[in-house]
Each structure stands twice: as C-alpha cells, then as structure tokens.
Amino acid sequence: MTPFADRTGRRLIAGLPTIWLVALFLIPFLIVLKLSFSEMRLAIPPYAPFIEWRHGWPVPALHLSNYAFLFTDPLYVRSYLYSLRVAAVSTAICLAVGYPMAYAIARASPAWRTALLMLVMLPFWTSFLLRVYAWIGLLQNDGLVNHVLLALGLVHRPVRLLQTDFAVYIGIVYAYLPFMILPLYANLEKHDPELLEAAADLGARPFRRFLRITLPLSLPGIAAGALLVFIPAVGEYIVPSLLGRTDQLMIGRVLSDEFFENRDWPVASAVAILMLLLLVVPILLLQRLERRALEAPK
C-alpha cells in the first residue's frame, strides 16, 4: 500500500509541476522555434504574424531566411566555432585540474573528505558574478598576477591578460571546477580498493594500475563532469563579457546583442535554435548518464 493511490491526489501531484513546466518552459521554447522561421517587422512585437493569408487561405509562415542569413555572414559561424573551442579547451583544463583533486579527496580519510568537499563547494554558494569579477582585479595590467610574474622575473613588463582567450579559460575553469570535481569524486569514492591491491599483488606498478583500473572505471564520472562543464560553457555570457575579447564574441553574447542591440528577434531565435542543435547530443548524453546514476542501487 502507498499513500499515492488516491486519484485526485495523484492528479494534483503530477499535474501542477507538469502544467507549470509546459506553460513556462515548453511553450516558450516552441515560440522561439516558431519565431526563428518568421520575418522581422518594424512593429511591436517586432516580427511578422505566424499565419499568412494567401488567396484567402491561411498558410503558416515558414521562412528559412534567418538561417540562411546566419550562414552567409561569417560572424555567426565564427562565433559558433569559437564558442565550441573555448568550451572544449576549458573542459579539458577542468578535467586536468579536477581529476587529481577529486582523486585526492576520494582517497583522504573520511573526516578530511567532508571538510575538503565543503571547501570545494563553498565558492559555488557565493555569487558566480562576483567570483568572475574577482579576476578582473587579478588579471589587469597592474593586477596581482602581473605583479607575481614581474617579481619572479618571468616577464619584464606587464603582460596583457584581460580581454584574451586566456582570461576566458581561467574564468570558466574557475567558475565550473566544482561541477567537474563532484561527479568525479562520487565515482572515484565508490571504487573497490581490493581491485588495486590485487593488481599490485600481480606486480602492476602504480601508473599502470591507474591506467588499467582506475581510469576505465571512472569514465562515467569523467563524462558527467565534462558535460556539466561543456554545456553551460558553450552558452556562457558573463565570463566573456567581463574578461573576454572584444573582437571575437561567444555565441551567447551574439544572441543577446542580436536581441537587445539590433532588436532582430527572429535572428536571435534562429541563433538560439542553432546553438541548441549543437548541444543536443551532449545534453542527451548527460541525461542518459544522470538517469543511470539515479536508477543505480545505492
């Protein structure tokens, strides 16, 4: 017996969140999809009606001109490719830094483990915006990083660090590192130490044990962490706006400019739909991984 057999109760429990998400997530998204096939108008709202009348018959207005436009102006294709590159490089750096960190936490004593996890999570609870902002002060020409570089004699005059790709990588890695560490930790913590002991008994050296046992077992954790960093990084807006280049925009910024500066809502919608198409495969992969993690016995 369960308390969830009552019919009205069941309808209420499932119905309310479903209605909310359909009304405020699914339908808005369908509007974006529809708008991406519409033409811009200098009116309020600034787009042509969804239905056109031809010879007295209603015809759905489907124009591919916005998409054609995105492919004719190299600005857009370049921004898409740049966003993918920035996201890929940042994800790789996150993995390189986050994997050993997660590993060290998973192998620490239980008391240390809780404290270390808390230390990793604490910045996440403070403001994303302010944490990115902190890097403006560190990376500017007379900032801390340049002071250190000068003091170490690595450079002889301040290097321009702000408004470079490097600053964007730093910002994204800094903001998303906990998202890489947590799924990796959750995975690494479950490994059975006896497997490594058995391998050691059979004469495998530490690096070989890592390559043949730990690394393959942690692949789901690597995939989950990488996707959790990569997906938001592609559409990242705050980091490139505060730290990034002004001559090469990421696609999230292009979308926002198209909407707010050019007031071209149909093109902004087409930019959004194409961005989503790039992310469909990573998003589906992530959902599959998470469903598996949720359904796995604890």
Partner 1 sequence: MNAAGRFPRTMLAIGLAFLYVPIASLIVYSFNNSRLVTVWDAAHSPTLKWYWALLSDDQIVRAAWLSIRIALLAATAASVLGTLGGVALARLGPFRGRALLAGLVPAPIVMPEVITGLALLLLFVALEEAIGWPRGVGVVTIALAHITFCMAYVAVVVQSRFAGFDESLEEAAMDLGARPATVFMRITLPLIAPAVAAGWLLSFTLSWDDLVITQFVAGPGSSTLPMVIFSKVRLGVSPDVNALATLLVLAVAIGIGATAVLLRYRERRRVRDVQLAAADS
Instruction: Check residue 142 for interaction with partner 1 (CB under 8 A).
Output: yes
Binding flag, residue 93, partner 1 (CB under 8 A) = no
Task: Check if the beta carbon of residue 194 is closer than 8 Å to that of residue 220.
Answer: no
| 140 touches partner 1 by CB under 8 A | yes
Cα angle value 287/293/297 (rounded, 5°):
150
Joined together, the tokens standing for residue 147 give 């002071």
Phi first, then psi, for residue 192 (nearest 5°) are -85, 115
Tokens 């124009």 found at: 63
Contacting range for partner 1; rule: CB under 8 A; set: 21-29, 59-67, 69-77, 217-225: 21-29
Question: Which is nearer to partner 1, 193 or 216 (by Cβ)?
Answer: 193
Q: Determine if 32 is a binding residue for partner 1 (CB under 8 A).
A: yes
Residues 236-255 close enough to bind partner 1 by CB under 8 A: 237-238, 241-242, 252, 255
Q: What are phi and psi of 248, to 5 degrees?
A: -140, 110
For the record, the structure tokens of 27 come out as: 């339908």
Query: In whole angstroms, how close is the CB of 213 to partner 1 at the nearest point?
Result: 14
Among 21, 81, 211, 215, binds partner 1 (CB under 8 A): 21
6-14, 56-64, 65-73, 149-157 -> range binding partner 1 (CB under 8 A): 6-14
Q: How far is the CB of 273 from partner 1 (least distance, A)?
A: 9
Q: Kindly state whether residue 110 participates in binding partner 1, applying the rule CB under 8 A.
A: no
Among 70, 86, 95, 105, binds partner 1 (CB under 8 A): 105
Q: Which helix (H) or strand (E) holds 98?
A: helix 74-106
Q: Which of residues 156-185 bind partner 1 (CB under 8 A)?
A: 174, 177
Site for partner 1 contains 135 (CB under 8 A): yes
Select from 58, 68, 85, 112 the one that contacts partner 1 (CB under 8 A): 112
Tell me the site size for partner 1, rule CB under 8 A.
90
Residue 42 φ/ψ region, left for φ over 0, alpha for ψ in the -120 to 50 degree band, beta for the rest: beta
Q: Which residue number, 78 or 158, has a Cβ lying nearer to partner 1? A: 158
> 25: which 2 tokens?
């997530």
Q: Whole-angstrom Cα distance, residue 101 to residue 211?
A: 17
Residue 266 lies near partner 1 (rule: CB under 8 A): no
Query: Shortest approach of partner 1 to residue 104 CB, angstroms?
Result: 4
Q: Residue 5 interacts with partner 1 (CB under 8 A)?
A: yes
Residue 252: CB partners within 8 Å, gap ≥ 6? Answer: 83, 234, 235, 236, 237, 240, 275
- Which helix (H) or strand (E) covers residue 277, if one does? helix 265-295
CB closer to partner 1, 44 vs 154? 44
Stretch that binds partner 1, among 62-70, 197-205, 215-223, 269-277 (CB under 8 A): 269-277
- 259 Cβ neighbours under 8 A, 6+ residues apart: 265, 268
Instruction: Report if residue 204 touches partner 1, rule: CB under 8 A.
Output: no
- 3-state class (DSSP) for residue 10: helix
From the list 170, 186, 183, 293, the residue with the least C-alpha distance to 233 is: 170
